[in-house]
Amino acid sequence: MLSTESDLAHFVLELRREDAAETTIAAYRSDLALFAQWFAESVGTPMTAAAVTPTDLRDYKTHLQTVTGAKPATINRKLSALKTFFAWAPGRRLITDLPTSSVKGVGQGERSPKALETREIHRLIREAERRGKKRDIAILQTLRHTGLRVSELCALRLGDVQIGERSGTVIVRAGKGRKYREIPLNVDARKAIARYLTVRPRMVDDHVFLSQEKRGLATNSVWALVTGYARRAGLEEVTPHTLRHSFAKGLLDAGVNLVAVAELLGHARLETTAIYTRPSARDLERAVERLSVEGQP
């Protein structure tokens, strides 16, 4: 049993409060239940959040790799569900230390991180537009057009966003490594944020993006929001970080130099940004397809 039925119920309630899709909630429940079953069989005691250690999670990852033969993307999705749960657990005082902090996903080869194509991003944005949620549209457009990390997006205060008629800027005051940077806002991001600010509650928490409780959004809430819209749009394995990857890959494909992209992403080393210059699975597929006889004129 996952922690207790009460803990699982409260976790699901939080996901629903943040408008997670039912398919997302069902996927989380399934992945967490499978882990709880494995834990009980392997350790010999029912799973509780406090009982899970980093070693347990590493053993579970190995089990998925060697026993079930799961693909890297599937393993990473299951680990992502666990990370979301354990990121929520401290707020319920179920744990004090995150057992997931040192557990890494499974590498998928020396390829560029997964990035969405323009038409796929449009499908994602369209799902939020259909529901008419200006906050969600602004979040998706901001992630898409700035490459912000989720933690950076959640930390934004009203004073960090400057929007003019023809220009705008978002300020990251303490990014990874406490690094300060300013990112220009293009017209799509400016319009989406400006529309959201017209309906954003006044005289409350000064975070830009607020939860239904009118406080700053938690990172796991943004993850649930993005993955929920992605599933509705028929897109698999899409997270907020996928939008960051899409931002970087799009800039490089458009001819922006590596130094400028690194500055926009807040990377301390160019080697980190250079991963986006590696071919993606789609790039390799298109390269091979060019050799096809049927594809020749």
Task: Answer with the residue of higher pLDDT: 269 or 181.
Answer: 181
Are 84 and 130 within 8 A, CB to CB?
no
Render pLDDT for 124-173 as a digit per residue (tens, 0 to 9).
Answer: 999 999 988 899 999 999 999 999 999 999 999 999 999 988 899 999 99
Which helix or strand (DSSP H or E) is residue 34 part of?
helix 22-43
Catalytic, 276? Answer yes
Catalytic, 267? Answer yes
pLDDT for the residue 1: 46
Task: Given the residues 104, 126, 157, 176, select the one marked as catalytic.
Answer: 176
Catalytic, 126? Answer no
| CA–CA distance, 231 with 240 (Å, rounded to integer) | 13
Q: Is the pTM of this model over 0.85?
A: no
pLDDT for the residue 281: 66
| CA–CA distance, 127 with 151 (Å, rounded to integer) | 23
Maximal C-alpha separation, the chain: 65
Catalytic, 28? Answer no
Render pLDDT for 30-62 as a digit per residue (tens, 0 to 9).
Answer: 899 899 999 999 999 888 889 999 999 999 999
Task: Given the residues 28, 60, 196, 276, select the one marked as catalytic.
Answer: 276
Task: Given the residues 10, 58, 92, 241, select the one marked as catalytic.
Answer: 241
Catalytic, 200? Answer no
Q: Which two tokens stand for residue 72?
A: 């890297």
Catalytic, 190? Answer no
pLDDT at 196 over 50: yes
